């Protein structure tokens, strides 16, 4: 067995180790739970990571108990359906927002935005914690709280760069009002785990809604597009990754009124330039098994062949998620389409199926190279083990070559 010089325990025991071993996804939970010790910052590679503020940055056990770099868990509720790839669920089917404007603006069919609207209109949630383009730097994403229907609608759309939505979690909890979270699957796992140790969060958390997630690029992916257009980031007034159609164009506008856009197909044509973060390459739950509802695209082979009116695949994962979907349909916010069988969902998300089957081998490769992995529970990683020696070797080689290694940022000044 090949070893690097550093030999770790199987799972990270400090936040520094999470970051240095490439297991951090920059969710922002560190900053939310211990702002006196951690502040989210961009690294030179364009990743959001916690930077240490204090001389004792490691008093972080309560963070590690929920950190997606240290632990990943599926929800544990019983469900009528269970699938080896897709996990526990109540329903898989096509759906879309009934409101034409939401459907048009949103990333896919507007499912997540329509659910947010429903939660606010009915008063079941007083606000939504999610994310938006930073108004001061629209290529970047920042966490936000939407108190109104108009705010949720204005913030529709997928943001493909780094996003630290959970940096706003404590602000949300401190409001002591019922709220919902719209975020990535890794964020959902962190919120669910955190709720086990935070009674105020558990009491006020109405539901967690996520997108099925193929991975978050570092900011270099977005910067490369600006470089192609010869645009300085300081001039950008709009950076929309998709939406305004399905998938809609990626559009950049600048202060002097000029605009550029490219198709979704062009944006993702060259896989070598995706700059997907390390944690995403070994993501144990990209399909939202810790959430109440997961929303997906529905293109065969995951490839859009042109623009369409906007459709989502929905996976309801808990009784709460199932009831919420039924209510939103009855209230006229969502339209129901046909059911999607699990093997059809495989065809819509082939990359997720490949990753799920490759994970056990990838994790073995990392451990062989002497680097830690997250703990996982209820995600069937070992059961799906394809024992792919190539994946294992490639993963070990990545770690040995230092491609999972990162530097813990420090705050300047």
Selected binder of ligand SF4 within 52, 114, 152, 280 (CB under 6 A): 280
Selected binder of ligand FAD within 151, 158, 261, 405 (CB under 6 A): 158
Residues 34-53 that bind ligand FAD (CB under 6 A): none
- Per the CB < 8 A criterion, the answer to whether 93 and 296 are in contact is no
HEC assignment per residue over 205-252? EEEEEEECCCCCECHHHHHHHHHHHCCCHHHEEEEECCCCCECCCEEE
Q: Nearest to ligand FAD by Cβ — which residue?
A: 214
Regarding 188 and contact with ligand FAD (CB under 6 A), the answer is: no
Regarding 185 and contact with ligand SF4 (CB under 6 A), the answer is: yes
Query: For residues 243 and 321, which CB has a smaller minimum distance to ligand FAD in the complex?
Result: 243
Cα(306)–Cα(160) distance, integer angstroms:
20
Query: For residues 104 and 274, which CB has a smaller minimum distance to ligand SF4 in the complex?
Result: 274
Residue that is written with structure tokens 């629209």 in the block:
138
Nearest Cα residue to 13 out of 71, 55, 54 = 71
Binding map of ligand SF4 across residues 47-66, x = CB under 6 A, - = no contact: ---x------------x---
Binding map of ligand SF4 across residues 286-325, x = CB under 6 A, - = no contact: x---------------------------------------
**How many CA atoms within 13 Å lie on the side-chain side of 362?**
19
Query: For residues 50 and 109, which CB has a smaller minimum distance to ligand FAD in the complex?
Result: 109
Please tell me whether the peptide bond between 247 and the residue prior to it is cis, using omega within 30 degrees of 0.
yes
Cα(247)–Cα(18) distance, integer angstroms:
34
Regarding 207 and contact with ligand FAD (CB under 6 A), the answer is: no
Regarding 119 and contact with ligand FAD (CB under 6 A), the answer is: no
HEC assignment per residue over 360-397? HHHHHHHHHCCCCCCEEECCCCCCCCCCCHHHHHHHHH
Partner from ligand FAD, ligand SF4, none contacting 365, C-beta within 5 to 8 A by type: none
Regarding 408 and contact with ligand FAD (CB under 6 A), the answer is: no
Query: In the complex, what is the shortest distance from the CB of residue 344 to ligand SF4, in angstroms, rounded to a whole number?
Result: 22
Selected binder of ligand SF4 within 51, 117, 131, 216 (CB under 6 A): 216
Q: Containing H/E element for 329?
A: helix 319-330
Q: Return the number of other C-beta atoms located less than 10 Å from residue 272's C-beta.
A: 5
Pairing of strands 375-377, 259-262: unpaired
List beta partners, residue 88: 82
- Per the CB < 8 A criterion, the answer to whether 403 and 369 are in contact is no
**How many CA atoms within 13 Å lie on the side-chain side of 151?**
15
Regarding 372 and contact with ligand SF4 (CB under 6 A), the answer is: no
Query: In the complex, what is the shortest distance from the CB of residue 23 to ligand SF4, in angstroms, rounded to a whole number?
Result: 7
Selected binder of ligand SF4 within 21, 22, 24, 371 (CB under 6 A): 24
Regarding 209 and contact with ligand SF4 (CB under 6 A), the answer is: no
Tokens at residue 92, please?
Answer: 């898989």
Nearest Cα residue to 144 out of 121, 124, 171 = 171
Regarding 120 and contact with ligand SF4 (CB under 6 A), the answer is: no
Selected binder of ligand FAD within 49, 126, 130, 376 (CB under 6 A): 130
Cα(217)–Cα(208) distance, integer angstroms:
23
Query: For residues 73 and 159, which CB has a smaller minimum distance to ligand FAD in the complex?
Result: 159
- Using the contact rule CB under 6 A, the part of the chain among 24-32, 176-184, 198-206, 337-345 near ligand FAD is 176-184
Partner from ligand SF4, ligand FAD, none contacting 50, C-beta within 5 to 8 A by type: ligand SF4
Regarding 186 and contact with ligand SF4 (CB under 6 A), the answer is: yes
Selected binder of ligand FAD within 156, 166, 191, 367 (CB under 6 A): 156
Helix axes 111-121, 319-330, angle to 10 degrees: 80
Nearest Cα residue to 272 out of 321, 217, 229 = 217
Regarding 162 and contact with ligand SF4 (CB under 6 A), the answer is: no
Residues 73-112 that bind ligand FAD (CB under 6 A): 106-112
Residues 269-288 that bind ligand FAD (CB under 6 A): none
Residues that bind ligand SF4 (CB under 6 A): 15, 18-19, 24-30, 50, 63, 67-69, 184-186, 213, 215-216, 279-280, 283, 286
């Amino acid at each position: 067995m090949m070893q690097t010089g550093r030999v770790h325990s199987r799972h990270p025991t400090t936040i520094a180790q999470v970051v240095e071993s490439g297991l951090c996804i920059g969710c922002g939970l560190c900053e939310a739970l211990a702002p006196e010790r951690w502040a989210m910052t961009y690294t030179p590679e364009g990743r959001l990571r916690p930077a240490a503020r204090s001389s004792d940055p490691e008093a972080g056990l309560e963070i590690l108990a929920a950190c997606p770099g240290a632990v990943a868990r599926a929800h544990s509720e019983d469900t009528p359906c269970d699938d080896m790839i897709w996990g526990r669920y109540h329903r898989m089917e096509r759906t879309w927002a009934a409101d034409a404007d939401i459907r048009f603006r949103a990333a896919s069919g507007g499912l997540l935005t329509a659910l947010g609207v429903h939660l606010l209109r009915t008063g079941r949630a007083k606000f939504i914690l999610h994310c938006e383009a930073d108004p001061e730097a629209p290529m970047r994403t920042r966490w936000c709280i939407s108190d109104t229907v108009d705010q949720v609608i204005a913030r529709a759309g997928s943001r493909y760069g780094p996003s630290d939505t959970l940096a706003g979690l404590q602000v949300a909890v401190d409001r002591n009002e019922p709220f919902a979270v719209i975020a990535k699957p890794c964020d959902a796992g962190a919120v669910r785990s955190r709720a086990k140790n935070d009674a105020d969060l558990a009491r006020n958390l109405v539901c967690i809604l996520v997108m099925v997630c193929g991975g978050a690029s570092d900011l270099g992916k977005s910067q490369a597009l600006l470089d192609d257009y010869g645009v300085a980031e300081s001039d950008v007034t709009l950076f929309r990754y998709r939406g305004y159609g399905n998938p809609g164009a990626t559009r950049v506008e600048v202060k002097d009124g000029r605009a550029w856009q490219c198709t979704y197909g062009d944006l993702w044509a060259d896989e070598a330039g995706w700059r997907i973060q390390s944690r995403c390459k070994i993501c144990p739950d990209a399909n939202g098994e810790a959430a109440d509802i997961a929303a997906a695209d529905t293109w065969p082979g995951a490839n859009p062949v042109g623009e369409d009116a906007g459709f989502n695949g929905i996976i309801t994962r808990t009784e709460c998620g199932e009831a919420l979907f039924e209510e939103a349909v009855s209230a006229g916010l969502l339209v129901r389409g046909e059911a999607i069988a699990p093997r059809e969902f495989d065809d819509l998300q082939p990359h997720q199926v490949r990753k799920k089957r490759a994970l056990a081998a990838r994790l073995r490769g990392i451990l062989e190279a002497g680097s830690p992995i997250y703990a996982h529970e209820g995600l069937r990683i070992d059961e799906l083990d394809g024992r792919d020696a190539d994946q294992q070797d490639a993963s070990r080689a990545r770690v040995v070559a230092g491609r999972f290694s990162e530097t813990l940022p420090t705050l300047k000044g």
